[in-house]
Chains A and B, each alone.
Chain A
């Protein structure tokens, strides 16, 4: 090989470094332009979303019962696809959370109600993450996100390693004791595709739960997200849930 004179070599290195530095200096601008990410429901139709209005939930537990009936969820308190938590925040900042039997049979009366600063119910279900950690970790592709944005489980393909249960930050998955596969809220996908709302929405007497198509700007969920200040759970996880809450307190985990 021909030997490169030392001077030329140094020149070449210096110019390469300068080019790289210039590119690096310009990069933040380029990135900032990309910072806005178009939501997937701009491109795909339909795209399912879910909204919960905490200010409407009365903790009757009809949703939990309906979900178990509709989806053959084992009737044990430790297998739930949806559940309702009750938060009791006392004036001295003591926080108590409970969800006996997932809230299906109601709740025991609150002791010393005069010391309660605030109390409310929080329904929980699959968060419909856009970046689902459960889908990310499944070794075989038995849990997946559909074209219309719902995370589902292939019961015939799941090997039962339970990695997805570990990966879900929201505790919405359980191990089905009879089928021996992971199981979770499917947002009643079989109902959505038949033009029906989910069983929990059907059973909710106060309209605290809403399911709908985010790609339709006129849909109930789109309007709800537009007209209210909504939040997601554990936003720091970067999971980008399509389940949003109105009236979420900072203590809700």
Chain B
């Protein structure tokens, strides 16, 4: 009886430990603000390493700025302190994905040349 309890206890503990490891491994939900900051850092590091020229880096920053303005306009139309709708979030995410892809594409194109 005790053995049965012990083994089920061990099993439960194993599952819990397994879950605690598994949870951080799940993809972290980045907010669009965090992604904007992350993309800016990627542009900065690309400029420093020489993978992006000044013109390319500034052009990518301008794209990020357009997204920031678009988001600000969306927020302005909402009541104070309310969040963007799922559709609006998705639209911003799509724009940020495009910039992310442009950063990597521009860097890689230079390496291929």
- Mutual binders A and B: no
- Seen from chain A, the residues whose Cβ lies within 8 Å of a Cβ on chain B are none
- Seen from chain B, the residues whose Cβ lies within 8 Å of a Cβ on chain A are none
